Amino acid sequence: MTEKSSTELTEEIKARVRRNLEEIFTAVAGKNVTVMAATKTVPAEVINYATQECGLHNIGENRVQEFLSKFDALDKTGVNMHFIGTLQPNKVKYIIGKVCLIHSLDSMKLAEEISKRSASAGTITDVLCEVNIGNEPAKSGVPEETAESFIESISSLPGINPRGIMVIGPHCVDPEDYRPFFGRTRALYTRLSDRGLFGSDPILSMGMSDNYRLAVEYGANLIRPGTAVFGRRG
């Protein structure tokens, strides 16, 4: 039995990515939802195929080192690059001006560094406040009960523009079990949006591969599928 060539394997990957994206786009059609694909460990050539051939316009990395290693190899024509992972203050300088949105703002120290680096670069960085909606000790994010005061505090910083909130719910075997967490997130998002804390076009970043359909049901207008787009990675 002969092994498949890398070209044949690449064609299989392309077919899978195209099929998966078509399924996701169909699921959110007419709902004003941005599909941002999480691209952790995905090779640049596969990402480029998704963005240049399959209609994907938003991609997100969650590690600064990987983001930088791919940056020059990515075709950024018509593409918005997001940062979605835990961000250390000492790594902020490497992504300012390169990303359209930081999803993972979770501390005043990080906010101040983003503000400083953005002001120095003469730019304004859009950010989302990451909320630890499940109150999980091992996860990053601002506690639900202090999210409002935190966002009020960062709103006065120069060079930083709060646009909404991002959540990563607790892991649930049954997607239906996400409902209480998504419901609370939606309530928080609505309250803060109604106060005008996120401007005229607020963002609720919620929902990944296993639960994006449910997240959209609860008002998510930005979803972050990864495996559902590219398949399981090692």
Number of separate domains in the chain: 1
Q: Judge whether 179 lies within some domain.
A: yes
In a domain, 120, yes or no: yes
pLDDT exceeds 50 at position 30: yes
Measuring CA to CA, which residue among 185, 190, 207 is closest to residue 132? 185
Is 1 part of any domain? no
Looking at the domain assignment, is residue 234 inside a domain?
A: no
Q: Indicate the pTM of the whole model.
A: 0.94
The pLDDT of 192-220, averaged and rounded, is 96
Domain-embedded: residue 201: yes
Is residue 175 domain-resident?
A: yes
The CA distance from 66 to 34, in Å, is 23
State yes or no: pLDDT of 12 exceeds 60.
yes
Say if residue 9's pLDDT is above 70. no
* Alpha carbons 201 and 204: distance in angstroms, whole number: 10
Q: What is the mean pLDDT of the chain?
A: 94
What's the pLDDT score for residue 234? 56
CATH number reported for the structural domain that contains residue 39 in this entry: 3.20.20.10
**Residue 134 near residue 169, CB atoms below 8 Å:** yes
Mean pLDDT for 185-194 is: 98
234 burial (CB, 10 Å; 0-12 / 13-18 / 19+) is exposed
Local confidence band at 10 (pLDDT 50, 70, 90 cut-offs): confident
Question: In sequence order, what E strands does the chain have?
Answer: 34-38, 58-61, 80-83, 101-105, 125-132, 142-143, 160-167, 203-205, 222-223
For residue 114, pLDDT beyond 90: yes
Residue 154 CA to residue 171 CA, distance in Å, equals 29
Q: pLDDT at position 215, please?
A: 97
Instruction: Tell me, yes or no, whether 129 lies in a domain.
Output: yes
**Other CB atoms within 10 A of residue 128 CB:** 26
Residue with tokens 């970043």: 205
Q: How far apart are CA 9 and CA 14, in angstroms?
A: 9
How far apart CA 43 and CA 21 sit, in angstroms, is 17
Q: CA nearest 164: which of 210, 116, 196?
A: 196
Q: Which domain holds residue 200?
A: 6-229
First-last CA distance in the chain: 25
Q: Within a domain: residue 160? A: yes
Residues 178-197, mean pLDDT to the nearest whole number: 97
pLDDT of residue 69: 97
Q: Which percentage of the chain shows pLDDT scores above 70? A: 96
Mean pLDDT value across residues 52-63: 98
Alpha carbons within 13 A on the beta-carbon side of 190 = 9
Section 96-119 average pLDDT: 98
How many other C-beta atoms lie within 10 A of the C-beta of residue 129? 26
In this prediction, residue 169 carries a pLDDT of 86
Is pLDDT above 50 for 7?
A: no
Q: What is the pLDDT of residue 43?
A: 94
Whether 68 has a pLDDT exceeding 80, the answer reads yes
